[in-house]
Amino acid sequence: MICGIEPEVNSQNPYQMSIDATMFVPPHLIAVVDDEAPVLRGLRRLLRGRGFEVRTYESAHEFLTALQAEKPDCLIVDFQMPGMTGLELHRHLTRAGAHIPTIVITAHNERTIEKLCLAEGVSAFLSKPLQISSLSAAIHESCGMTAPSQESRSR
């Protein structure tokens, strides 16, 4: 349910928690691709606050260009974008042998697309607006981190 957010933020200072996460390993690099800048900014703020290194790109092409320089640990990509869609990007990466855990986010919560994406090996499919708990769980799973248990986050 929605109220799952509250215990998470109420339990402890999330900022503090993210610092905890960075204490063990270098911060995970998360790439976010979405054609809308406000979404990118919001997610960047959120994820940075949670201790992740964040790169944002406004298109799949932009991301692919940057990919040559560094490879992210996790890719969050919008499904519907002009040019290459999130799923197409994922396919492209898979075909190119770049195995980046990919979380597809979409404003169209269509089951068929979700099924398709999951069948193609996408690690998570989340509908917008993003539930912080689901997002957090998906990122942690993608990055091979131990997801913060609900208990530890709930009050």
Partner 1 sequence: MTRRGDHRCIRRLSRIVSVFLVAIATLLVWPALVSAQTSGVAPPRVLLLMANDHRIPVTLQMTEAARVRLTERLGDVRFYSDFLDLQRFPSDADQDRTARFLSDKYASIHLDVIIAIGPQALRFITDRWPNGASPSKVVYCAVGSDLAEELASRPNIVGGTAAEFDYVKTLTMARALQPKAHKVVAIFGSSNFDREQNKRVREQLASEEKQIEIEYWSGRPLADVLRQVAELPPDTIVLPAAFRGDVSGKVMIPWVPLSQIMAAASAPTYSVYDTQVGQGVVGGYSMSFADEGRVAADLAADVIEGRELGRLPVRRPVQNKFRVDAQQLDRWGFSRANLPPDTLVMFEKPTLWSQYRLFVLVTLGVIVVQSALVTTLLIQRQRRVRAEAEAEQRRQEVAHLMRVSILGELSGALAHEITQPLTAILSNAHAALDMLPEHAPGAVELREAIEDIVQEDTRAGEVVKRLRRLLKKGDKTNEPFDMNELVLATVTLLRSEGLGRGITIKTELADALPRVWGDPIQIQQVLLNLAMNAMDAMASTPSTERIVLFSTAITPTGGIDVLVRDRGVGLPTGDKDQVFKPFFTTKDRGLGLGLAICSSIAQAHDGKVTLISDEDGGAVATLSLPASKQVPLANDTATLESALRPLAANP
Whole-number Å distance between alpha carbons of 91 and 69: 20
**Measured over all CA atoms, what is the biggest interatomic distance in the chain, rounded to whole angstroms?**
44
Minimum CB distance to partner 1 smaller for 65 or for 110:
110
Give the shortest CB-18-to-partner 1 separation in angstroms. 8
Contacts with partner 1 by CB under 8 A lie at: 2, 5-6, 9, 13-15, 18, 36, 38-39, 41-43, 45-46, 48-50, 80, 105, 107-112, 127-132
Minimum CB distance to partner 1 smaller for 5 or for 25:
5
Which of 79, 73, 74, 43 lies closest to 60, judged by CA? Answer: 79
Whole-number Å distance between alpha carbons of 84 and 15: 34
Residue matched to tokens 């957090």: 136
Give the shortest CB-3-to-partner 1 separation in angstroms. 8
Angle (CA) 43 83 143, round 5°:
40
Minimum CB distance to partner 1 smaller for 36 or for 70:
36
Give the shortest CB-98-to-partner 1 separation in angstroms. 26
